[in-house]
Amino acid sequence: MTTKYTSIEDLLACDRFHTDEKHPHIVVDSRRCAACTSRPCLTSCPAHLYTQDLQDGSLHFDHLGCLECGTCRFVCAVMGKQGIIQWSYPKRTSGVQYRYG
Ligand code: SF4
């Protein structure tokens, strides 16, 4: 049987996540983040894990569903404020398991 996928969302829905909820592999320094005006993480994360509160402008992040692409670490260091995002790979047996690419 051949399954046809029509979008990136369909492919991502096939992935499995073994999330270590007690030890997030990405930690955002929200105090320093508040001073960043560019916030490239908001538009660059392919999983849309960075969001901004429309009322007070604060940034919210949830590591659940992270694809471990490293984009946020890169754009934060280059376009944002260096050192706001502490990034490491999840511990062994945790993290994303890709199913279709
Ligand atoms: Fe998003 Fe990639 Fe950063 Fe994970 S590593 S939070 S998927 S940009």
- pLDDT 10s digits, 22-44: 889 999 998 888 888 889 999 99
Mark the ranges of the chain whose per-residue pLDDT is less than 50. Answer: none
Find out whether 38 and 76 touch, Cβ atoms under 8 Å. Answer: no
> Residue 1's pLDDT is what?
58
> Residue 101's pLDDT is what?
61
Domain count, the chain: 1
- What range defines the domain where residue 56 resides? 8-97
Find out whether 100 and 12 touch, Cβ atoms under 8 Å. Answer: no
**Considering the domain boundaries, does residue 1 fall inside one?**
no
**Considering the domain boundaries, does residue 3 fall inside one?**
no
Is 45 close to ligand 1, i.e. is its CB under 6 Å away?
yes
**Considering the domain boundaries, does residue 48 fall inside one?**
yes
> To test ligand 1's pocket by mutation, which of 8, 12, 26 has the most ligand atoms within 8 angstroms of CB?
26
* CATH code for the domain of 70: 3.30.70.20
Nearest CA to ligand 1 atom 1: 45
**Considering the domain boundaries, does residue 2 fall inside one?**
no
